[in-house]
Amino acid sequence: MGLRIAEIFGPTIQGEGALIGEPTVFVRAGGCDYRCSWCDSLHAVDSAYRHSWTPMSDDEVWEEVTRLSGGRPITVSLSGGNPAIQDFGPVIEMGRAEGYRFACETQGSVARPWFGQLDTLVLSPKPPSSGESVDWDVFEDCVAAGQGARQVVMKIVIFDRRDYAWAKGAHARHPELPLYLQPGNPEVDPDVPVDPQSLADRLLWLVDMTTGDGWFAPRILPQLHVLLWGNKRGV
């Protein structure tokens, strides 16, 4: 079958998390084992969009990455959907042999041996507002699988006070993981413009919550790509 790919795009910049602002080519996998209520990439998640996903071999994926990057080593981000439900190990091996760096963002619901080949593994467990629940035993398997990576971090999207309290508990489970929090974007329709002031207000609310509580563990970041491009695909 090869890999199911929703889109490959870039170079652009990483819009969130530990690598925010870093020049990146994105490989967005098709398919996911979650259905988050506020998902902003349904085109790569819902099987209703399966007809738009492209079956690609490892070589075809890598040829497209090198074409987009002009053969110049850059960070390649594996996203989705959930890229962990597919085997990206061979693609990572091809890229690392040519000096490329790799990051992967996943909710931590499927552990893969190739996590250890990454430069950055971003584990993004989903809070209560998503409508999903975390299997913490599997999440810990993902942390263990990423031990060979240069860094493993946790990133959580926050929509409300319940999510915020949940994030504190998630951090308490894994205080060894650098923690990044970002306010969620309630408007995910690509045809509806985002309100930058509303996003700024949500960011300020999250800053006030953490500093007011004296909780200094997380780094608070915006979704930079949403501020720049709204919900447009392929950026």
Please enumerate, by residue number, every residue annotated as part of a binding site for Mg(2+): 41
DSSP 150: S
234 assigned to some structural domain: no
The pLDDT score that the predictor gives to residue 67 is 98
Percent of the chain residues past pLDDT 90, beyond the cut: 80
235 assigned to some structural domain: no
Please tell me the pTM assigned to this model: 0.93
Please enumerate, by residue number, every residue annotated as part of a binding site for substrate: 13-15, 28, 79
Please enumerate, by residue number, every residue annotated as part of a binding site for [4Fe-4S] cluster: 32, 36, 39
Instruction: Looking at 21-149, list the stretches that DSSP marks H as alpha helix, in order from N- to C-terminal side.
Output: 58-69, 89-97, 136-145
The pLDDT score that the predictor gives to residue 198 is 87
Q: How many domains, in total, are found in the chain? A: 1
The pLDDT score that the predictor gives to residue 235 is 53
Residues 121, 33: contact at Cβ < 8 Å?
no
Domain harbouring 34, CATH code: 3.20.20.70
Tokens of 119: 């430069």
Among candidates 196, 200, 25, which has minimal Cα distance to 95? Answer: 25
The pLDDT score that the predictor gives to residue 123 is 98
161 assigned to some structural domain: yes
The pLDDT score that the predictor gives to residue 40 is 80
194 assigned to some structural domain: yes
Cis peptide bond prior to 125, omega within 30° of 0: no
The boundaries of the domain holding residue 122 are: 3-229
Residues 1, 55: contact at Cβ < 8 Å?
yes
Residues 182, 157: contact at Cβ < 8 Å?
yes
67 assigned to some structural domain: yes
Residue with more model confidence, 197 or 138: 138
Cα–Cα distance between 104 and 9 in angstroms, integer? 15
175 assigned to some structural domain: yes
Kindly report, residue by residue over 3-35, the tens digit of the pLDDT: 999 999 999 999 999 999 999 999 999 999 999
Cα–Cα distance between 102 and 32 in angstroms, integer? 20
Please enumerate, by residue number, every residue annotated as part of a binding site for S-adenosyl-L-methionine: 38-40, 81, 124-126
Arithmetic mean of pLDDT over the chain:
93
Please enumerate, by residue number, every residue annotated as part of a binding site: 13-15, 28, 32, 36, 38-41, 79, 81, 124-126
The pLDDT score that the predictor gives to residue 189 is 67
Tokens of 34: 């979650």
- Does residue 230 carry a pLDDT above 90? no
